[in-house]
Amino acid sequence: MRHFGYLSASDTDALFEAPPEQFGRDSPPELLSVALGATLYMPASRPALAADVTKQAAAGVTSVVVCLEDAIADEDLVEAEANLVSAFADLWEQAGSELPLLFVRVRAPEQIPALVARLGPAAGLLDGFVLPKFTAALGARYLAAVDAADALRGSATDRGAPPLRLMPVIESGAVLYAETRVEELTRLRDLLHGARHRILAVRLGATDLCALYGLRRSPDLSIYDVKVVSDLIADVVNVLGRADGSGFTVTGPVWEYFGQEAGGPERIFKPQLRQSPFLEHDEPDLRGHLVSRAIDGLIREVTLDRANGLHGKTTIHPSHVAVVNALSVVSHEEHRDAADVLGSGRAGGVLASVHRNKMNEVRPHTAWARATMLRARVFGVAADGVSFVDLLAASLPR
């Protein structure tokens, strides 16, 4: 699969100096975790689940989570599980179709081997599981369940597949409450390091975290304005997202608004999306389209995610996918700065940016430059003069 694969060859040539590379389930984990980009969640109860997966794959979605947890009412769980098994069987029969990376969000550890057993050969399509309410106390049971599921999957299908990957979700009171946070994060780090070959990314469950205090952010605010959660995000990155080789990819939390032209939540503050980039790139109507659907808030939050060490994002609406992925493209200027830092051949020192607007300090900027080059491989490098406005205009249906 490849990000922006839906663009025409001429659009790709015009927008990218270096187009995105192909990647797949066999790609190295450090590359695959960044390539997740916008991960789209779908309730397992969707009537046309298999068709929806293939439709979204054609539209540019490269990672999907089929949810059996909070998206499903308790009384609908049995039917949702059956629907999921049926959808995977349908997808298995369409072996020639291009599919995204496929994960299932479960409710409990024992559900994992039970589902894999029911999937049979179609378990070969499964890339892994999302583990909700992941805690140090529950984590060992989850990991043991996945080991059992992997053994079942290996005997049920003759198609080779990498080990099942895991994305634990940080969203429990044990990690949010101040009096238990440090101990819980330390225990989580030790547990995840023991299963490092399986951990693709660590996800943040902002909705559940807010719920512990009866909070819900408005479309005027980002999760970073909710201090009790933003403080935790900083600590999760501090302990689990270090750039010294011991860290994991930590993904951004969900943006839950997708307002319509004639409705949506009431806005109190002015949008913080500047007009000038849209005017400069001959897209004056695009800004209004984004603001009317609360996507300006998503753009701001994705920008803050990256500034705080998060990569990719949980999404619950297809309109969000193109936005998150467009904002993940490495700009021409970023790429040049990263290349200069990595290609300096110096053990330290400061280089003047070729754009003469910043300093590039070799030693402290090396980790950033390596991460930027990894992102450039899967999301591409924008051509000189191409901005996120151009990428959004080419990606968003209007």
Instruction: Quote the pLDDT of residue 44.
Output: 98
Instruction: Quote the pLDDT of residue 212.
Output: 98
Cα gap 71→49, rounded to integer Å:
14
If pLDDT is split at 50, 70 and 90, which confidence band does 265 have? low
Instruction: Quote the pLDDT of residue 90.
Output: 96
Summarize the confidence of residues 72-78 as an average pLDDT.
Answer: 97
Provide, rounded to the nearest whole percent, the portion of the chain with pLDDT above 90: 83
Q: Is the pLDDT of residue 156 over 80?
A: no
Instruction: Quote the pLDDT of residue 392.
Output: 93
Which uninterrupted H or E stretch holds 284?
helix 284-292
- Tell me how long the chain is: 398
pLDDT tens by residue, 37-55: 999 999 999 999 999 999 9
Instruction: Quote the pLDDT of residue 263.
Output: 55
Give the closest residue to 298 by CA, choosing from 336, 333, 264, 331: 264
State whether CATH 3.40.50.10950 applies to domain 9-329: no
DSSP structural state of residue 164: P
Instruction: Quote the pLDDT of residue 348.
Output: 75
Query: Which segments of 128-275 does DSSP mark as H helices, in order?
Result: 136-156, 173-176, 181-194, 206-211, 227-240
Strands (E), 188-316: 203-204, 313-315
Instruction: Quote the pLDDT of residue 264.
Output: 58
Residue pair 70/314 in contact (Cβ under 8 Å)? The answer is no
Cα gap 165→314, rounded to integer Å:
17
Instruction: Quote the pLDDT of residue 345.
Output: 74
If pLDDT is split at 50, 70 and 90, which confidence band does 293 have? confident
Residue pair 351/340 in contact (Cβ under 8 Å)? The answer is yes
Q: Is the pLDDT of residue 157 over 70?
A: no
Give the closest residue to 328 by CA, choosing from 390, 375, 277: 375
**C-alpha triplet 34, 145, 23: angle, nearest 5°:** 25
pLDDT tens by residue, 89-121: 999 998 767 899 999 999 999 999 999 999 999
Instruction: Quote the pLDDT of residue 260.
Output: 59
Partners of 252 in beta bridges? 313
User: Where in the chain are the domains?
Assistant: 9-329, 333-379
Q: Is the pLDDT of residue 204 over 80?
A: yes
Q: Is the pLDDT of residue 262 over 60?
A: no
Q: Which two tokens stand for residue 193?
A: 């390091």
Average pLDDT, the chain: 93
Q: Is the pLDDT of residue 160 over 80?
A: no
pLDDT tens by residue, 30-41: 999 999 999 999
Q: Does the pTM exceed 0.85?
A: yes
Paired sense of beta strands 165-170 and 203-204, if any = parallel
